[in-house]
A and B are shown apart, each in its own frame.
Chain A
Amino acid sequence: MADHSEHVVRASLYWLVWAILIVATFLTAWVATVDLGAFNTVVALFIATCKASIVVLIFMGVKYTHEKMTRPILVGAVFWLLILLILSLADYSSRYAG
């Protein structure tokens, strides 16, 4: 009954992703207590983005999907979010902060 092209992922890959996510969670909590100066926030957001990316790619199956629109929608929505954040913050960072 292979009438559709859905990709069945190996269970071991899901376990691997899970392990990475758990390790990254503890890593991000630990690294926050190390003094990296301004880089603490950068590292925290970097780890969060890595975690989010593998959830999207593996758990949500974007890596395997044949749906051509998924990636544009995802990139588009994140881009739209950045429009909101960057243009609003551009105002705040170029005026006197009360």
Chain B
Amino acid sequence: MATAAVTTERKNYLNAEYGIRSWLLTTDHKRIALLYLLSITLFFFIGGFFALLIRLELLTPAGDLLTADMYNKAFTMHGQIMVFFFLIPSIPAVLGNFLIPMMIGAKDLAFPRINLLSWYIYVAAGVLYIYCLATGGVDTGWTFYTPYSSMFSNTHVVEAGLAIFIVGFSSILTGLNFVVTVHRMRAPGLTWSRLPLFVWSHYATSIIMLLGTPVIAITLVLVVLERTLNLGIFDPARGGDPVLFQHLFWFYSHPAVYIMILPSMAVMSEIIPCFSRKRVFGYTFVAMSSIAIAAIGFIVWAHHMFVAGISLYSALVFSCLSFLVAVPSAIKVFNWTATMYKGSVSFSTPMLYAMGFIGLFTIGGLTGLFLATLGVDVHVHDTYFVIAHFHYVMVGGAVMGYLGGMHFWWPKISGRMYPEGWGRLAAVVVFIGFNLTFFPQFIVGYLGMPRRYWQYPPEYQVYNVLSTAGASILAVGYLLPMVYLLWSLRYGKIAPDNPWQATGLEWRTASPPPTFNFDETPEVTWEAYEYDKMPLPEEVTLER
């Protein structure tokens, strides 16, 4: 297999400089994206480890593997790590960081040093969280609900809260950088209506990061102050209101779901036209639906609180408002489907992930409507139905998008092709494993199994066994890309500049790109997604 072609490689961002300093002090957005890639992968595996513990514990009805306390910590840290340290930075900080400047024909993001700073902030928060984890962890549930978190929990709530407070700033700085970059750094001729939809979606995501994150930051500060200085703002025994905490928490944490899903939708809007060889259907609608999701996402938060004691009238209003989010989400799904219609669809790995995304996101989104319905939510609130719903959105949606995007842009990032056969296999394994894990949870949740318990009545066992079996398959599906992507770094075929014959500006430069992305600033005179004018990809890249 030692056929790694020795070529007279031109300078690119990977070989421009060597040594640890050139990575840790880099301001190149592409290198920072790779730093993020390494760090979020680490957290993905830590979070995955806790998922494994949860699924193993739930294999049998008795609480035999973990104690109740350990189980509480396991699901808490699974949630916090996956949400704050993996999903939220995943696509924006890795793919967004790598691609946005290239997609708009810029040399770098507007504030390269702030970009590096955001990674260091992420690392500082990560170290603090790992310290929290190593010294005993936290058991409040990822939501930090008061007064349990502020008064009663004997675990490391302060460290976890501060870690998430700090990681929020990394997210804010990334969002700030993206917004300013999109406004100020576009290449000549690249008008807003010519922007790739990837950029539009990330712009919407960044707005959520900028306007939502500070609210959770201050809320967690108040919880930390409450624990350390006994303030009592959220403590009902001292005249505080725990429901106020939930309002403030969900004001960010509901839109945070859109921080996870919008970038994934961004990836979809690139992959689907490319592998359908068609212009995206309804460009303006897809672009505007991103903005609409970001905006409407902020007025629906109390649907997490229907049984928390909010007023009935308020609950009714929030229930109705929640339905509104379905409109722009459906616009996207219908437009992607319409893009594939009568296109020449090829089932390459990224496209398999994209099609998986459409299916899973549709299920996740529609069950979201069940939960937004006041009467149904009272029945299934805090059951596995909710767990299944948000995993369909956050794993079935966000992670499928992340993996699809990683494959799609892997040739650009690494300069190597991944093995297509293995790629397709992994995509199918992920899809099967995912559904086997989470579909039974809809049923068992509907039957009444509550979330966050380490024991359950024996009649639920069959669903939990199915779920654990699915989780094992899913784990294999996630490990496979890890292995063959690393393998491809050395043994993969050298990637051409534009292996998929895609239209974006990022494909008009070398693979891997030079440090400043383009040899000369491109001038854009065309619209995005002119696939009708592109040749079909060469046979060599679609190795069958």
Direct contact of A and B (CB under 8 A): yes
Name the distance in Å between A22's Cβ and chain B's nearest Cβ: 31
Number of interface residues of B (CB under 8 A): 21
Which chain B residues border A77 with CB–CB below 8 Å? Answer: 211
Question: Is A84 in contact with B183, judged by CB distance below 8 angstroms?
Answer: no
Name the distance in Å between B178's Cβ and chain A's nearest Cβ: 14
Q: Which of A50-94 contact B (CB under 8 A)?
A: 69, 76-77, 80, 83-84, 87-88, 90-92, 94
Name the distance in Å between A90's Cβ and chain B's nearest Cβ: 5
Question: Is A91 in contact with B211, judged by CB distance below 8 angstroms?
Answer: no
Which chain A residues border B85 with CB–CB below 8 Å? Answer: none
B310 within 8 A of A: yes
Name the distance in Å between A98's Cβ and chain B's nearest Cβ: 8
Question: Is B302 in contact with A84, judged by CB distance below 8 angstroms?
Answer: no
Name the distance in Å between B203's Cβ and chain A's nearest Cβ: 12
A95 within 8 A of B: yes
B215 within 8 A of A: yes
Q: A84-B251, A94-B314, A95-B310 are in contact. Are A69 and B298 (CB under 8 A)?
A: no
**Nearest CB in chain A to that of B305: its residue:** A91
Q: Which of B117-144 contact A (CB under 8 A)?
A: none
Q: Which of B201-258 contact A (CB under 8 A)?
A: 211, 215, 241, 243-244, 247-248, 251
Question: Is A91 in contact with B299, judged by CB distance below 8 angstroms?
Answer: no
Which chain A residues border B310 with CB–CB below 8 Å? Answer: 91, 95
Which chain B residues border A69 with CB–CB below 8 Å? Answer: 183
B317 within 8 A of A: yes
Q: A80-B211, A83-B298, A84-B251 are in contact. Are A91 and B311 (CB under 8 A)?
A: yes
Total CB contacts across the A-B interface at under 8 A? 38
**Nearest CB in chain A to that of B239: its residue:** A98
Question: Is B298 in contact with A90, judged by CB distance below 8 angstroms?
Answer: no
Contact for B311 among A80, A83, A84, A95, CB less than 8 A: A95
Question: Is B317 in contact with A80, judged by CB distance below 8 angstroms?
Answer: no
Question: Is B247 in contact with A94, judged by CB distance below 8 angstroms?
Answer: no
Per the bound structure, the CA–CA distance linking A54 and B243 in Å amounts to: 37
Q: A80-B298, A83-B299, A84-B215 are in contact. Are A91 and B251 (CB under 8 A)?
A: no
Per the bound structure, the CA–CA distance linking A84 and B310 in Å amounts to: 15
Question: Is B211 in contact with A90, judged by CB distance below 8 angstroms?
Answer: no
B18 within 8 A of A: no
Per the bound structure, the CA–CA distance linking A16 and B241 in Å amounts to: 45
Per the bound structure, the CA–CA distance linking A69 and B247 in Å amounts to: 30
Which chain A residues border B301 with CB–CB below 8 Å? Answer: 87
Per the bound structure, the CA–CA distance linking A92 and B311 in Å amounts to: 7
B152 within 8 A of A: no
Q: Which of B302-322 contact A (CB under 8 A)?
A: 302, 309-314, 317-318
Question: Is B314 in contact with A90, judged by CB distance below 8 angstroms?
Answer: yes
Per the bound structure, the CA–CA distance linking A52 and B312 in Å amounts to: 37
Per the bound structure, the CA–CA distance linking A79 and B311 in Å amounts to: 23
Question: Is A87 in contact with B302, judged by CB distance below 8 angstroms?
Answer: yes
Per the bound structure, the CA–CA distance linking A69 and B179 in Å amounts to: 11
**Nearest CB in chain B to that of A67: its residue:** B183
Name the distance in Å between B316's Cβ and chain A's nearest Cβ: 10
Q: 1/0 contact trace for B285-310 toward A, CB 8 Å? A: 00000000000001101100000011
Contact residues of B with A, CB < 8 Å?
A: 183, 211, 215, 241, 243-244, 247-248, 251, 298-299, 301-302, 309-314, 317-318
- Interface pairs (16), CB distance under 8 Å: A76-B211, A80-B211, A83-B298, A83-B299, A84-B251, A87-B299, A87-B301, A87-B314, A88-B244, A88-B251, A91-B302, A94-B311, A94-B313, A95-B309, A95-B311, A95-B312
**4 additional contacts (CB under 8 A) given A91-B302, A91-B314, A95-B312:** A77-B211, A84-B215, A94-B313, A95-B309
